[in-house]
Chain A
Amino acid sequence: MSPIPLGILAASGAQELPAYVLIQSVLIDSNTSSITFSGLSSLASTYKHLHIRYALRTGASGTTQTALMRFNSVDTGYARHRLTGDGSSVTSNNDGNNQSQTALGFIAGAGTGGTYGGGVVDILDAFSTTKLKTVRTISGVAATNGSVGIHSGIWMNTSAITSINLLTPVPGEFLAVAGSRVSLYGVRA
């Protein structure tokens, strides 16, 4: 099967520009407590948005856990809302303003026998210096006591995003164990 490039045509002519471009993949071969994408300022002239895809399993003993994300190593100014299904009911949460991080989404716990959680994250207008930063996530873990959810987040800061730090909310716990993967893409607009 030969791949057919899924590009967009530049408005000024027939030059094809790639719409989604891989920036970096982090493949986890040993337990790690955090993952950082840095040096992102160089992307600002080329891309409008950022996109993250992951298959993650944490070192937690439970089935599922919400992982966290912060920008530019700043620990203030985040807010998030969540809509979550747990296999029997649906709940919504307003986590309030001025949280220390926003949500990366659900990832799986190590206690589920190798189950990985999958998720996609869009960071809109990531390099704008006039807009607050909006984040949307769809993620889940398909297992007993698992979760599926939609998260909306905001970073109430107009700074361009220069780094992304993915964290576990539990001190001393591993964010990702071997076999996990996180990939970052630039999205042209």
Chain B
Amino acid sequence: MTTNSFDLLASSVLTSNASTVTFGSISGLYRDLILVCDIVAATTTMNLGVRFNADNGNNYFALNMRADSFGIGSSLTTQTEFRLTQRGDGQPSTTRRTSYMVQIFDYAEAKGKPILSKTNNSSITEIQSGRWANTSTITSVSIVGLTDSFGATSKFYLYGVLA
């Protein structure tokens, strides 16, 4: 019998607030990673991002395109994490749950890692092309709250994709 090529590697559903969620000891068995998040903020509207291997250097590029309450637009940024959104409307609040899907390509290859992401809630639709400018194998993925904590019931899922 053939086997699935998309495997759920790990998941976390918060039962209390948390400032960071980390999936560590990621197997090198797969070719791509997919991170799916459904997030509500603990106390306010929160900015948030993803770091690989705890790298907080200025090594993350994001080119976004979005439609939000201000209209449509596009921007290119370099940041110390891969921001899951570049817009206030894309940030979760205590009442605005926001979903994110992040595709990380060739995470164990000795190249800069291409990234694609989608952000959706009642106020925005946004896609980003990203890149982690580092040739190291990704062994951990941390989702980091930058201005607040993740609220209880926030959900995080990490998938591996065979190739």
Residues of A with Cβ closer than 8 Å to B? Answer: 1, 3-7, 18-22, 25, 53-55, 83-90, 106, 114-120, 138-144, 146-150, 179, 181, 183, 185
Contact = CB atoms under 8 A, between A and B. Distances in A.
A147 B75 CA distance: 10
B130 A142 contact: yes
23 contacts: A3-B27, A5-B3, A5-B4, A6-B6, A20-B4, A25-B31, A55-B105, A55-B106, A55-B114, A83-B65, A88-B74, A88-B75, A106-B129, A116-B111, A117-B129, A120-B116, A138-B116, A142-B63, A148-B63, A148-B64, A148-B129, A181-B31, A183-B163
A1 B44 CA distance: 34
A181 B6 CA distance: 17
Given A1-B25, A53-B161, A87 B76 contact: yes
Given A115-B114, A119-B116, A185-B5, 17 more contacts: A3-B8, A3-B160, A6-B7, A19-B4, A21-B2, A22-B163, A53-B31, A53-B163, A88-B76, A90-B73, A116-B112, A140-B128, A141-B129, A142-B62, A148-B129, A149-B65, A181-B163
A148 B127 contact: yes
B146 interface: no
B13 interface: no
B51 interface: no
Give chain B's interface residue range (CB within 8 Å of chain A). Answer: 35 or more
Interface string B110-129: 01101110100000000111
A108 to B, nearest CB: 8
Contacts, number: 152
Nearest to B25: A1
B54 interface: no
Contact of B76 (A106, A120, A144, A179): A144
B61 interface: yes
Given A19-B6, A87-B76, A89-B74, A138 B127 contact: yes
Interface string B25-51: 111010110000000000000000000
A21 to B, nearest CB: 5
